Amino acid sequence: MKSILKLVAMRLGLGLIGLLIVSFGIFFAVEALPGDAAEAILGQSAEPETVAALRKEMNLDRPALVRYGDWLIHVVQGDLGRSVATGRDISVLIVPRFSNTLFLAVTAAAISVPVALVLGMAAALWRYSTFDRAVTVGTLTSVALPEFFIGYVLIFIFSVKLAVFPSLSSIAPDMGMGERLLRTILPAFSLVLVVVAHMMRMTRAAIINLLAAPYIEMARLKGMSNARVIFRHALPNAVAPIVTVVALNLAYLITGVVVVEVVFVYPGLGQLLVDSVASRDLPVVQASCLIFAAAYILLNLTADVVAIVSNPRLLHPR
């Protein structure tokens, strides 16, 4: 137990260091955006005095390193700042948007993870068959297509032609679960078609690699069926690589939703990020990017810990 806690503490420490480095990159990447933020917000016809006052309010008249230090201290204290465009607290803006993004990601994950695992195990069980080749071609084709193209194709088929689902995913906090799922299903499927291929291929590769192990051959010699061999012996030992690729794709589902949210006008954190970039609302841009980075790092750390805990040889190296 102590070794596990020590492992988790080490990974969390590395994650915090990584997040600190990412925060530095985020701040100065936003800082490098062309043009003057205050002038972009007020317009080119604004008076110089008004622009100077807004620059002072946004602390743009101070050195960049000093502003980064102040921003980081406030973030550590839980203060993400205030939106320049709306004047509202950024946490008030981000919390509902991030919950919408999480709902979209969870919906996509609830569909993609079981489908990918079933397809991966079936493809491993009947490898090199027509089914295996068809699944491989289909998944690789879907992953090769960009998300926005898949989204527009789904809108054309299911919204324009069949009129089954709405083309715009306009959801509200007081909306019922049924209506919410109905408006979320198309953007969720756009993400599913992208991530299923990665998880399916990794599951297939992990199972096939284990099927060549001596203990699997012994189980077959004892007369066990292929399904029993996979579910009883191969799959438990393939948890580490499968969990890793699932966690990586879950991280993508949270951080890679920006394009999909823009296509379907989904009121998530990705849409807020794009709108904030367009309006040069730099505090919101920085906070949104930092939350995306923290979610990605946390899911990667979770995958790392689960993979090591599930493999005693990694937990107790010689």
| List of domains in the chain | 101-279 (1.10.3720.10)
Adjacent-strand bridge partners of 82: 89
pLDDT of res. 142: 82
Nearest to 12 by CA among 247, 287, 294, 286: 294
Q: What is the mean pLDDT of residues 103-111?
A: 89
Q: What is the mean pLDDT of residues 190-200?
A: 85
pLDDT tens readout for residues 3-35: 777 777 887 888 889 889 988 988 888 777 776
Has residue 163 got a pLDDT over 60?
yes
Q: Is 143 exposed, middle or buried (0-12, 13-18, 19+ CB in 10 A)?
A: middle
Has residue 269 got a pLDDT over 80?
yes
pLDDT of res. 193: 84
What is the token pair recorded at 74?
Answer: 């406030």
> In this predicted model, which residue has the larger pLDDT, 293 or 217?
293
- The CA distances from residue 122 to 4, 117, 200, 230, in Å, are 34, 8, 10, 10
Range from 63-72, 268-277, 290-299, 309-318 carrying the lowest mean pLDDT:
309-318
Q: At residue 82, what are phi and psi to the nearest 5 degrees?
A: -125, 150
Has residue 125 got a pLDDT over 70?
yes
pLDDT of res. 172: 80
pLDDT of res. 54: 74
> Confidence band (pLDDT; 50, 70, 90) for 242?
confident
Q: What is the mean pLDDT of residues 181-191?
A: 89
> In this predicted model, which residue has the larger pLDDT, 3 or 149?
149
pLDDT of res. 316: 58
> Confidence band (pLDDT; 50, 70, 90) for 312?
low
Has residue 318 got a pLDDT over 70?
no
> In this predicted model, which residue has the larger pLDDT, 293 or 55?
293
**Mean pLDDT for all residues in the chain:** 82
> Confidence band (pLDDT; 50, 70, 90) for 314?
low
> In this predicted model, which residue has the larger pLDDT, 68 or 311?
68
Q: Which residues contact 90 (CB under 8 A, 6 or more apart)?
A: 80, 81, 82, 83, 283, 284, 287
Range from 48-52, 88-92, 270-274 carrying the lowest mean pLDDT:
48-52
> In this predicted model, which residue has the larger pLDDT, 195 or 308?
195
Q: What is the mean pLDDT of residues 54-66?
A: 77
- The CA distances from residue 158 to 39, 151, 163, 186, in Å, are 43, 10, 6, 8
Q: At residue 47, what are phi and psi to the nearest 5 degrees?
A: -70, 145
pLDDT of res. 136: 84
Has residue 317 got a pLDDT over 60?
no
Range from 140-154, 181-195, 204-218 carrying the lowest mean pLDDT:
204-218
Share of the chain above pLDDT 90, in %: 3
> Confidence band (pLDDT; 50, 70, 90) for 310?
low
Q: Which residues contact 212 (CB under 8 A, 6 or more apart)?
A: none
